[in-house]
Amino acid sequence: MSWEANVRKVVPYVPGEQPKIKNIIKLNTNENPYSPSPLVYKAYQETDLDDYRKYPDPTCSELVDSIAEFYGVKKENVFVGVGSDDVLSMAFLTFFNSDKPILFPDITYSFYDVWADLYRIPYRQIPLKDDFTIDPLDYYSENGGIVIANPNAPTGVKMPLSEIEDVIRNNKDVVVIVDEAYVDFGAESALPLIDKYDNLLVVRTYSKSRSLAGLRIGYAFGCEKLIGYLLDAKFSFNSYTMNMPALKLGAAAMKDREYFEKTVAKVVATRENFKASLKELGFEFADSATNFVFARHPGKPGKEIFEYLRANGIIVRRFDKPRISEYLRISIGTDEEMDKLVSVLKEFL
């Protein structure tokens, strides 16, 4: 018997490429094309490197307080982590501890099944309807927990809050995680429901609407008891998850509501123009409420379009998976980047 027999073997999630080449148009990981808030620059310039001798605040109070203030909740309702990936992973570990399968859609964020496998959580993937929407009735069966991304990724499709509430209300014996990574770009948040349902965890990120993917900050809202259990798991895993720059600069970003609203509005306006151009070119796509569009062309294989774009310095994302292999997930960049993409697509089609 070799030691390998006892290794916890996993098939890892594959993140989107972060190419080293300059002068490419990078539309593959749903980053924000605009810089972080000027308040983040200011906080960065005021950083004293000597502080880094010490450990960061394990309670993350500066960051947690800024989030609680922005959203008008108590600090006891807020949990923070190293990107929402860390928050979600901790939530899976903490709340999905049953023999019954957890439920999530067949087409959704492809980290969910990876965490489930890693933590040995049984799961069932429920097919989205043909139009990529979710039927709340599919989430009525007995289960060990539920995770739904709203809007969903990579489809970009949103679910009405009334239907999200329906799922939460009909699953009071398990925790329902609503992953709102893209909610700021066009869906209604479940945040107001945390006072009404103690089984709801709402997860958010700084990576998209706050232009800070590089700092790795995610956060979650839930009732005090739920957040308490998450904190117990976190402090049993790693006390110092958040580094000093993330705590400081993340708090600064939360203080700039105006900049946040302005950049989100710009991305949304560009997305709407881009949808119109894609339609003219004959692409098909479900309506997107996010900072990306998930589209296919009836006349050209997705793989060929992907490769042509790449050869022309434009990187988008394609998933070689059942039901979606013809689709490209195209992040919304600046107007100039999207114009260039449209002109390259015109050449190809």
In angstroms, the CA 150 to CA 202 distance is 10
In angstroms, the CA 222 to CA 227 distance is 6
Instruction: Please select the residue that binds ligand PMP; options are 31, 163, 179, 184, rule is CB under 6 A.
Output: 179
Strand, helix or coil at 315?
strand
Residue 179 or 337: the one with the smaller Cβ distance to ligand PMP is: 179
Alpha helices per DSSP H over 2-82: 38-45, 61-71
CB of 264 to ligand PMP, least distance (A): 16
Residue 37 or 211: the one with the smaller Cβ distance to ligand PMP is: 211
In angstroms, the CA 170 to CA 305 distance is 43
**Binding-site size, ligand PMP (CB under 6 A):** 12
Instruction: Please select the residue that binds ligand PMP; options are 33, 186, 218, 222, rule is CB under 6 A.
Output: 218
The pair of three-digit structure tokens given for residue 10, joined into one six-digit string: 């996993």
Enumerate residues 134-153 that contact ligand PMP by CB under 6 A: 149, 153
CB of 84 to ligand PMP, least distance (A): 3
Choose the stretch contacting ligand PMP; rule: CB under 6 A; options: 77-85, 192-200, 241-249, 277-285: 77-85
Q: Collect contacts of 8-15 with beta carbons under 8 A, ≥24 apart.
A: 8/118, 10/114, 10/117, 10/118, 11/114, 11/117, 12/114, 13/110, 13/111, 13/114
Can residue 89 be called a binding residue for ligand PMP (CB under 6 A)? no
Q: What is the DSSP string of 127-177?
A: PPPTTS---GGGG-S--SEEEEESS-TTT-----HHHHHHHHHTTTTS-EE
CB of 205 to ligand PMP, least distance (A): 3
Residue 104 or 306: the one with the smaller Cβ distance to ligand PMP is: 104
Choose the stretch contacting ligand PMP; rule: CB under 6 A; options: 79-87, 115-123, 243-251, 256-264: 79-87
CB of 303 to ligand PMP, least distance (A): 22
Report which residue type is found at 206: Y
Binding residues (CB under 6 A) for ligand PMP: these are 83-85, 109, 149, 153, 179, 181, 205, 207, 213, 218
